[in-house]
Amino acid sequence: MYDIISIGDATLDTFVKVNEASVMCTADRSKCLLCLSYADKIPIISLDQQIAGNAANNAVGSARLGLKSAFYSIVGDDETGQKIIKKMKAEGVSLKYLKVDKGRPSNYSVVLNYKAERTILVYHLLREYSLPKLEQTRWIYYTSVGKNHLKLNRQILNFAQKNGTKLGYNPGSHQLRRGLESMKSLLKSTEVLFLNKEEAEGLVGRHAGIKPLLAELYAQGPKVVVVTDGPRGSYAHDGKNHWSMGVFPIKVVEMTGAGDAYSTGFMAALVCGETAPNALRWGAANSASVITKVGPQAGLLHKNEMTKWLRRYSKIKPREI
């Protein structure tokens, strides 16, 4: 039996750090634009390439935290696809369910890093996901798979209900654009729903305060709702309790993968038998470690490192709100 099977796209990210740029924002900073000089050559500070993708990050992070992890994805029939396969094998992730899309390239992203915040240019091919015959697993982590996800929604729902598998759901951009109606059945069988605050408000509308927002999301069916809010920390609600968790005080290098690291740490804690408040700390630690390095996987914690981080910041704990 697997502890977790991660389902979603994988990609190759190219990280480009720039200094010669500026940011223009609205008065309330609700919308900001990264500005580069038009029709010019922009010098870069550094360049790096890493395997990424929400589900790939989760699979690697879960394996590092000691879980028996598998990865269902579709990669291109190219050098990038081979890099993804090599990386997953090196991290101890089972590729039993990985498929190669013959004659087609892999997904690719360019991550522009300016003042520790990232803007991502994404190239994702349309893939035809269809759930393979999975072995027993305690958890499934389901995230971004592109436009053709409705069929996969039903297949994952049926598998989870039939096998008593717990579902962690972190909808990707295409899933979110389809709206709440398209995921209602899935949410009713979701154990933990992961969203950032902007995604949460886009899904159910703005609310006057975090508690009403959490309550509205919880009303859709998940047993636990987790909402991250960048430097303001994170929040969780299980139908009875509302928690607020602060961030660990570290120097931010680059933000890519912070959300994936958080959900990975949170779910791993639950798999290991921890309570929701402790899971919030695992998520905060994993996320903090990731943003001290470039890319979404370099800072993902191993189990012994998680223990050290939790001990180092033992005074930072969730509080009930």
Tally Cβ neighbours within 10 Å of residue 103: 8
Q: Which residues contact 88 (CB under 8 A, 6 or more apart)?
A: 51, 56, 59, 60, 71, 95, 98
247 by DSSP, 3-state: which?
A: coil
* Spatial separation of the C-alpha atoms in residues 296 and 261, rounded to whole Å: 8
Contacts of 260 (CB under 8 A, 6+ apart): 54, 57, 58, 61, 170, 290, 296
pLDDT tens digits for range 209-233: 999 999 999 999 999 999 999 999 9
Give CA–CA dist 261/263, Å, rounded. Answer: 6
| CA–CA distance, 74 with 223 (Å, rounded to integer) | 30
What pLDDT shows up at residue 148? Answer: 78
The CATH classification of domain 2-11+52-107+125-320, taken from the options 3.20.20.10, 3.20.20.60, 3.30.70.1520, 3.40.1190.20: 3.40.1190.20
How confident is the model over 147-168, as a mean pLDDT? 94
Query: What are the distances in angstroms from CA 100 to CA 52, 106, 129?
Result: 17, 9, 11
Q: Rounded to 5 degrees, what are φ and ψ at 11?
A: -150, 165
| Residue 27 pLDDT | 83
Task: Report which of 116, 114, 122, 120 is spatially closest to residue 23, judged by C-alpha positions.
Answer: 114
Per DSSP, what are the bridge partners of residue 227?
195, 235
DSSP states along 119-163: EEEEE----------PPPEEEEEE----S--HHHHHHHHHHHHHH
Question: Is residue 208 pLDDT above 90, yes or no?
Answer: no
Q: What is the pTM of this model?
A: 0.92
User: Does the structure show a pLDDT above 90 at 122?
Assistant: no
Check whether 201 has a pLDDT greater than 90: yes
- What per-residue confidence (pLDDT) applies to 245? 98
Is residue 30 over pLDDT 80? no
For a pLDDT cut of 70, what percent of the chain falls above it?
100
Quote the mean pLDDT of the chain. Answer: 94
pLDDT digits (tens, 9 = 90+) for 52-66: 999 999 999 999 999
For residue 113, is pLDDT > 90? no
Q: What are phi and psi of 134, to 5 degrees?
A: -85, 150
**Across residues 305-316, what is the average pLDDT?**
97
pLDDT, tens only, 249-271: 999 998 889 999 999 999 999 99
Q: According to the model, what pLDDT value does residue 300 have? A: 98
Beta carbons of 130 and 101 less than 8 angstroms apart: no
pLDDT attached to residue 99: 96
Q: What is the DSSP letter of 94?
A: B
| DSSP one-letter code for 191 | S
Per DSSP bridges, beta strands 137-142 and 107-114 are: unpaired
Q: Which of 127, 125, 132, 184 is nearest to 5 (CA)?
A: 132
> Domain locations in the chain?
2-11+52-107+125-320
The residue written with tokens 């914690």 in the block is: 301
CA pair distance 320, 275, nearest whole angstrom: 14
DSSP string of 286-310, one letter each residue = HHHHHTTSSSSSTTPPPHHHHHHHH
pLDDT at 239 over 90: yes
pLDDT at residue 116 greater than cutoff 90: no
